Chains A and B, each alone.
Chain A
Amino acid sequence: MKTRSFMTSMRDFLRALWAIVWKDLSAEWRSRELFTAMLVFSLLVIVIFNFALELDVRARSAVTSGVLWVTFAFAGTLGLNRSMATEKDRGCLDGLLLAPVDRSAIYFGKAIANLVFMFVVEAVVLPVYSVLYNTNLFKPGLILVIFLGSVGYVAVGTLLSTMAVHSRTRDILLPILLFPLAIPVLIAAVKASSGFLAGLEIAEVMTWLNLLIVYDLIFMAIAFMFFDFVVEE
């Protein structure tokens, strides 16, 4: 009996979660404003790095992972900010909160949608970078690092963007709130990425991968616990 009620509540939770993810994705599919902005911004960052760092063959191998993660982090804040700001401005957030679903479904729904946007941007940036700088970035290890790093970044970012949109200075506030907290993720991701790009054995990169996994789990749990307090009226 008890397990059955657990199963039904789990199914309700997943249905609510999916509804929120679907809402975000289909809204984005129709307007494409978020994705376009993130993508064009990322490409601009990469082009600017080309001039700023004089990315010749030797410099490139040393800084590639740094350039990639700075790009992802900047594009990520852009997306996180926008996705929450639209909810807030059109009163959708209040609507979501009125819905008789678990609040954590809202958090995870928004987080998954943000994660999808980030993955799509990363999926375009990687081949473009590979072609522009003639380096092969398609290594399974690197893809794994990008996955883990993005999960951690978005887990904290979604919670903080929910706080930032309530502030008067919201567009400038999110990076200020997010970057200092995301430093462990960025360090570990940059180190692990450059390890994989340099062709190191997985054992040598394992420390950083572990750190990424621990960060992802801890901050997902914390954000899940705190989201209720943040959206409470």
Chain B
Amino acid sequence: MGATAVGKMINVRNLKKHFSTSKGVLRAVDDVSFDIPEGQTLGLVGESGCGKSTLGRLLLRLYEPTAGEVHFDESSLFSLSPSELKKWRQEAQMIFQDPYASLNPRMTAEDIVAEPLKIHGIDIDPDTIAKSFQQVNLNPQHRSRYPHEFSGGQRQRIGIARALILNPRFLVCDEPIAALDVSVQAQIVNLLKDLQKQMNLTYLFISHDLRMVRYIADEVAVMYLGKIVEKAPTEVLFKNPLHPYTKALLSAIPLPDPALEKKRRRIVLHGEVPSPLHPPKGCGFCTRCPLAKDLCRESSPPLNEVEPGHFVSCHFPCIN
């Protein structure tokens, strides 16, 4: 992960976002680097408060960073002028977690979907709107209904149609399925996968649910206390997790299979995630790590490539 790689759509280098609060500096995102190739999905997982949403917002420049660089194609995101930034926003959109809070209850579905066109001064053609409804499997005849007349899954489809109306190339999906029922979650994940194929979209898929991430992501990054602790191609990460935190996270997920559940040896983590206001010295995970040694409490491990494409930030990765 050295110099800016070519052919990668999104390049993130040493990105930091620190918030100053009355209680001190909160390191929400602390020196994070990765790439997302065009047409692929990076799954970003971690528990609440680990900084994954802040990272998603930084990639859309909804926050200004404390340090670091994000390149979108060749251009440096944080040096765009306001007018360039507005133009760039057509290329990058967001899908939000809560389909109840992210749609204006006083606007019709049609107006919600057309609003980005209005903002960017593009002519609104009724056919375009109808097409975008069909694209996300919504009935165009329901275009003049209000959000409360739709179910949660349908509302999330409206949110997706709104994000796609400008033909963007990059989407940040921030927990897009967390508020939905399991049977509907699968509908939305399948829709996102189909759309990605049709439109060659690039996704940053933020989720706390590793199970869903496995179905949609090409690569997965695990975050803990503002840092990426492990990153690998999806199947590699699930088959051969190397960071003790990733292992614990995977083992905490219940399997829908009572026979397997009985046989399973679970790693139960003790304690809580430390406050990002006062991160521990050394490795961020050392306070809860079952394998922590003196070195872990002294120095923070770098993110090393232990096999091609598999990065882990641990002094003693669990290599079998």
Indicate whether A and B interact: no
**Which residues on B are within 8 Å of A, measured CB to CB?**
none
